[in-house]
Structure 1
């Protein structure tokens, strides 16, 4: 998915802006996808029980995992009047597609990588995608199993140093 440089980002010298995380079931695969269908009505933002959806650039909804995690309840998709969020997109009749292709990624500022013992990110991870490999003479090394990670973001808000980012899964594209 390519990102168009907006005038705002150009004037702020953000030539390669960080890709906004779209709500679950955002129609990104079709030519008439999310950005052409979304009316920016904020119905999805108002219906999110976890309050993790907010207005982003251009008024489009985006996910902010620093506010909490996505429980994949589907209320945002159910309230979307334009069809920009659709859990049936590209799937066989009677089936549902995955909410998104996001996975967690541990950054270099992780406390364990800096020699400080911390495992706060693993506690809220229901899918147990975060694991720690013991090592002699230091804290265990963190790792993420991409096949288990749902991209729910539960680990992001629990990290005391913001060392976890949710990104598009490079292996699923």
Structure 2
């Protein structure tokens, strides 16, 4: 979480940093200690908002949490000398098509439902269909990665 906070500091322009209010910082602090898993994985209502969120997640075809989990599992597999390939294959199957996949999908939809209103989801859908939205979709993760790398480099400089 420390790296996320450091990255946020560098991602926000200095002029807008003063606009980061205490409620935002409180939400970050609560997220560190909260157990959202119980409520986030509850079944989602099959309504128009859920359908729009699913559509938005398809429209945003860049890197997603499922892909990150797959990468992390493969990285762990490379370091693990105890568990065999079958163990990691079962993990990957579980997060892509198993019950965990359904729970993860519920969690993501519930987070969107708690964060965005239906008109905001409509706005996001329209945005991601524009050329700027498509570029944001494909390049945003690279900006984040570069920003985090730069922040890490700057932290090493100030520590020396």
Name the TM-score, length of structure 1 as normaliser: 0.21
TM-score (norm 2): 0.22
Q: Which has the higher strand share?
A: 1
Report the structure, 1 or 2, having the larger helix content: 2
